[in-house]
């Protein structure tokens, strides 16, 4: 199988066969797999719930541009000001000239109701510097006084599941936002307990995302075949 061969076009995300195969084994997830699942959550889980999900490449650009230019380029065009919950995929890539590097993922979530940014790191403290860089850039788009909060996130049980932890916490927060759609008050709970994101649940989610991609690949192939028959 050619790893560069196109596997799936899903709205703004292109997945290649090599991207999909990362989910099939004990592998670190790349930008494209996380971007796909963020796009899925945005469109099919939290649609209409006031949630904005920012892909890894856009989060990288935000941090690289910093508070002066980052919000205007990355956040404001995407409707940050109107969002109740904003989720950003953070990578510890130290190369400000090239996206796609790094060795660890974490999640940064902005709660508009609390005016606070919550960091979820499955290897506690590993991404603190990277998360703070994203926070400083994004806070320029938030009301004055936005806080940075390090949450006690569930911890990974191996050296490669940090990306799946990001997907798991993002999915949980999106489900909460969707369930609370239309409600007022202090917004959704931002705490995530180890009972909600267990090592077993992370393993299951890795397989679920793989099956989700495969089902969409099959649907796209069926649609293409139907179009040819009807042409």
Q: Which residues are catalytic?
A: 104, 121, 162
Distance CA(2)–CA(218), nearest Å, equals 18
Given a contact cutoff of 8 angstroms between Cβ atoms, the answer to whether 87 and 38 are in contact is yes
Nearest C-alpha neighbor of 25 from the set 206, 155, 209: 206
Distance CA(125)–CA(155), nearest Å, equals 11
């Amino acid at each position: 199988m050619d790893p560069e061969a196109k596997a799936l076009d899903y709205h703004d995300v292109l997945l290649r066969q090599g991207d999909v195969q990362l989910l099939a084994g004990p592998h670190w997830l790349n930008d494209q797999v996380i971007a796909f699942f963020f796009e899925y959550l945005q469109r099919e889980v939290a649609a209409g719930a006031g949630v904005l999900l920012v892909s890894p490449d856009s989060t990288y650009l935000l941090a690289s541009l910093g508070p002066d230019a980052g919000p205007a380029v990355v956040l404001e065009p995407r409707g940050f000001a109107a969002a109740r919950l904003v989720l950003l995929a953070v990578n510890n890539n130290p190369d400000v000239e090239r996206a796609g590097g790094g060795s660890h993922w974490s999640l940064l979530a902005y709660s508009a109701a609390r005016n606070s940014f919550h960091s979820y790191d499955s290897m506690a403290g590993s991404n603190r510097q990277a998360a703070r860089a994203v926070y400083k850039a994004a806070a320029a788009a938030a009301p004055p006084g936005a806080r940075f909060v390090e949450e006690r996130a569930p911890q990974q049980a191996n050296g490669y599941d940090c990306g799946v932890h990001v997907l798991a916490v993002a999915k949980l927060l999106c489900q909460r936002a969707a369930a609370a759609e239309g409600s007022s008050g202090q917004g959704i709970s931002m705490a995530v307990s180890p009972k909600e994101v267990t090592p077993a649940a992370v393993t299951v989610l890795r397989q679920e995302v793989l099956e989700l991609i495969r089902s969409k690949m099959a649907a796209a192939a069926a649609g293409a075949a139907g179009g040819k028959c009807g042409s």
